[in-house]
Amino acid sequence: MIASGHHPEEKRMLTPVTANQFHRPMGVGKTAPSLVTCARADGRSEELVVKFAGGCEAGIGSLLREAVAALMAADLDLPVPEPFLVQVEPDFVATIPEANDRYRLAKRNAAASLGWNFGSQKLPPGFATIAKGRPISQAMLPMAAEILAFDTFIANPDRTVANPNCQSNGREFGIFDHELAFRTEGILFWKAPWEKGGISFPKGQPDKLRHVFLDELRGSAPDFQRFGGAFDVLTEARLQEYQVALPAEWLQNEGDLAGILDYVRALKQNLDAAINNLSEALR
């Protein structure tokens, strides 16, 4: 269910499914991703949290970033729920009840999102949002460090103390919500994490800016050897597979995916420098 220790021959792609049955809106904001039962081509069903393009700040650009980040996280053996491509059709939208404002918002978002959307497999029972101030078990610290590294390296600002976008069952994490990752252009003073001074974690940052695992990891020297080595799977051929896996309609803004993939290439090329900067910044 969650990516871990998969063999190279069973590389994760984006499985296409069709949205069938609406359950309820999730989330608290404007995106209103929703719990939906979806059907695979072979008829098997999946419980997915579906993010509708029409509810996202940057529309399909947001879904593109979600999808690439999820594929990349899975390739790096980080605990991301399996990503799917979800076909939304008018018949499905028509079944969404208008029970309250949250439902109406979800329905509006879905109606504005006919075609392909992003889905992530619902985390199994037992997973809950990680609680603020609750210490992370010793056994989970190495994974917490890798998640912090992943977020820092893909420029994901959205896994903070205030909004963890991370659940746990006490033994494993599940990470989601990567729609703001890879946005490196137009951000004032942004520096690539591999550049000199590219990573800093100023003390006293507010909860909405501080990475959810920073307090636990600051002052430690995590071992990023496994994480660094995992980037070997992100070959040029694999990055091409990402492109093939994505719906053509998401690639109309040609620069979008090209920019993300160029960033991933540059990251891979400069990974040692990025890891050194990260270790330095955590000291």
Ligand X SMILES: Nc1ncnc2c1ncn2[C@@H]1O[C@H](COP(=O)(O)OP(=O)(O)OP(=O)(O)O)[C@@H](O)[C@H]1O
* Binding stretches for ligand X (CB under 6 A): 26-33, 49, 51, 81, 120-123, 165, 176-177
For residues 82 and 123, what is the distance between their CA atoms, to the nearest angstrom?
9
Q: Which does 29 bind (CB under 5 to 8 A by kind): Mg ion, ligand X, none?
A: ligand X
Min separation Cβ 246 and ligand X, Å: 18
- Closer to ligand X by Cβ: residue 19 or 275: 19
Largest CA distance in the chain: 55
- The pattern of x and - marking residues 22 through 41 that bind Mg ion according to CB under 5 A reads --------------------
Nearest to 31 by CA among 177, 215, 249, 195: 177
- Closer to ligand X by Cβ: residue 15 or 120: 120
- Closer to ligand X by Cβ: residue 130 or 217: 130
Q: What is the DSSP letter of 200?
A: -
Q: Which does 32 bind (CB under 5 to 8 A by kind): ligand X, Mg ion, none?
A: ligand X
Residues 161-200 that bind Mg ion (CB under 5 A): 165, 177
Min separation Cβ 19 and ligand X, Å: 15
- Closer to Mg ion by Cβ: residue 109 or 165: 165
For residues 185 and 260, what is the distance between their CA atoms, to the nearest angstrom?
11
**Number of chain residues interacting with Mg ion (CB under 5 A):** 2
Q: Is 146 in the site for Mg ion (CB under 5 A)?
A: no
Nearest to 70 by CA among 275, 242, 276: 242
Run of H or E including 72 = helix 60-75
Min separation Cβ 80 and ligand X, Å: 8
Nearest to 33 by CA among 54, 18, 13: 54
Min separation Cβ 25 and ligand X, Å: 8
Q: Which does 81 bind (CB under 5 to 8 A by kind): ligand X, Mg ion, none?
A: ligand X
Query: Which are the contacts of 78, defined by CB distance < 8 A and separation ≥ 6?
Result: 3, 143, 146, 147, 150, 175
Min separation Cβ 141 and ligand X, Å: 23
142-163 core/surface letters (b: 16 or more CB in 10 A; e: else):
ebbbbbbbbbbbbbbeebbbee
Contact in structure between 123 and 81 (CB atoms under 8 Å): yes
Binding site for Mg ion (CB under 5 A): 165, 177
